[in-house]
Amino acid sequence: MNPMRALVRTMTLAGVCGALMAASLQVPGTASAREGAAAWARGPAWQPTPTGKQARFRGLAAVGRKTAWLAGSGGTVLRTTDGGATWRDVAPPDAEGLEFRDVEAFDARRAVVLAIGEGDASRVYQTSDGGASWTLGFKNDDPRAFYDCVTFFDSRHGLAVSDPVDGRFRIISTGDAGRTWRVLPSEGMPPALEGEAGFAASGQCLVSHGPRDVWLATGGASRSRVFHSGDRGLTWTVADTPLPSSPSQGVFAVAFRDSRHGVAVGGDYRPGQPSPAAAATTDDGGRTWRPARRPPAEYRSGVVWPVYSGPAALAVGPTGSDGTLDGGRTWTRFDTGSFDTVDCAADGGCWAAGEKGRAARLTFTTR
């Protein structure tokens, strides 16, 4: 079995908690990035928002301070529109038993969720009425494919990625908000390394920024790498990263502030294993990567670079959360709770999520 696929199943049983966070490191109501930075200096804190579920949430989409979507194990999809005070179960009716690992949402009504697995377990559903009804836009019919992550450039155009088929990562594309999908030609994709694949750990192995740029993070092989496309997935380049790679190591997530500045996090997902050099940065769009001077001390599965946050970013993992104020060169742990994924919205609302139905928002102390 592909080591990444084994990882996906192992991690489903492992257990990592979660919390929902707040996007740009500005606090709601602050007037400037400087005030937001001052709030960050006072200290972030997690505000739990109980979901009433026991699913493990690795898919998360922050729409705003009040609205967010979660996607997780057991075919679970939840939505809140009141800042997490209540969560509504809005899962597709035929999804019981599916492993949802990613969700992309455009507002309180429109969202796309991706289920992982071999063969027809890999699926993409779309809703435009807040989950009251769903369209099955894609159902994998190739037993060799295993889809990991999905991303959108805007509310209509998006991509999803499968582990390599015939020696290359497979990309599918939609131009109608996820209602239909087509497989893109593989000629523009560099060959995969032996054992190389994506980690379906946080929905952040495939991320986009702007109207055309997209990055794919990998591991599992002799080197950890990040692929980049500037034409919505038609042609790709690839670069090595300094993060260690093995069947249990690699780049788990990437985030970009703009088309040039990005951060990558990862490490060894196995509990208790050391994860040195678990973060890297780029300032040339992913052509080259440099190790963080002071990376997170342990494995991190999710990362986000909030809008308007300047050099500040957040990373989460099973042993806690870290923040950086210098574009990913140095990281400082601010919480020891367990999280799988993190996302931030343009209005300054950040959320994070993880195991046992846990979800929370990021707040700041007011001393």
Over residues 195-224, mean pLDDT: 97
Residue 240, pLDDT above cutoff 90? yes
The pLDDT assigned to 226 comes to 98
The pLDDT assigned to 22 comes to 32
In whole angstroms, what is the distance from residue 146 CA to residue 160 CA? 11
Label residue 104 by pLDDT band (50, 70, 90).
very high
Over residues 113-134, mean pLDDT: 97
In whole angstroms, what is the distance from residue 25 CA to residue 35 CA? 10
Give exposure, 48-80, as e/b (b: 16+ Cβ within 10 Å): ebebebebbbbbbbbbbbbbbbbbbbbbbbbbb
The pLDDT assigned to 34 comes to 58
168-174 and 182-183: which strand pairing?
A: antiparallel
Residue 111, pLDDT above cutoff 60? yes
Q: For 18-32, how does the pLDDT look when each residue is reduced to its tens digit (9 = 90+)?
A: 222 333 334 433 445
Angstrom CA distances, 348 to 30, 91, 170, 202, stand at 10, 27, 34, 21
Label residue 47 by pLDDT band (50, 70, 90).
confident
Q: For 270-324, how does the pLDDT look when each residue is reduced to its tens digit (9 = 90+)?
A: 999 999 899 999 999 999 999 999 999 999 999 999 877 789 999 999 999 999 9
Label residue 35 by pLDDT band (50, 70, 90).
low
Over residues 103-126, mean pLDDT: 97
Sign of CA dihedral 338, 265, 313, 40: positive
Tell me the one-letter amino acid at 142: D
- Contact in structure between 237 and 269 (CB atoms under 8 Å): no
How crowded is the C-beta side of 110, counted as CA atoms within 13 Å?
Answer: 10
Label residue 16 by pLDDT band (50, 70, 90).
very low
The pLDDT assigned to 1 comes to 40
Residue 364, pLDDT above cutoff 80? no
The pLDDT assigned to 44 comes to 75
In whole angstroms, what is the distance from residue 205 CA to residue 216 CA? 6
Label residue 5 by pLDDT band (50, 70, 90).
very low
Helix H, strand E, coil C: the string for the chain is CCHHHHHHHHHHHHCCCCCCCCCCCCCCCCCCHHHHHHHHHHCEEEEECCCCCCCCEEEEEECCCCCEEEEEHHHEEEEECCCCCCCEECCCCCCCCCEEEEEEECCCCCEEEEEECEHHHCEEEEECCCCCCCEEEEECCCCCCEEEEEEECCCCCEEEEEEEECCEEEEEEECCCCCCCEECCCCCCCCCCCCCECCCCCCCCEEEECCCEEEEECECCCCCEEEEECCCCCCCEEEECCCCCECCEEEEEEEECCCCCEEEEEEECCCCCCCCCCEEEECCCCCCCEECCECCCCCCCEEECCCCCCCCEEEEECCEEEEECCCCCECEEEECCCCCEEEECCCCCEEEECCCCCEEEEEECCC
Q: For 316-359, how does the pLDDT look when each residue is reduced to its tens digit (9 = 90+)?
A: 999 999 999 999 999 999 888 888 999 999 988 999 999 999 99
Residue 87, pLDDT above cutoff 90? yes
- Contact in structure between 138 and 113 (CB atoms under 8 Å): no
The residue among 23, 16, 84 whose CA lies nearest residue 51 is 84
Residue 6, pLDDT above cutoff 50? no
Label residue 64 by pLDDT band (50, 70, 90).
very high
The pLDDT assigned to 307 comes to 78
Over residues 162-184, mean pLDDT: 98
The pLDDT assigned to 13 comes to 24
Q: For 141-157, how does the pLDDT look when each residue is reduced to its tens digit (9 = 90+)?
A: 999 999 999 999 999 99
Residue 168, pLDDT above cutoff 50? yes
Label residue 179 by pLDDT band (50, 70, 90).
very high
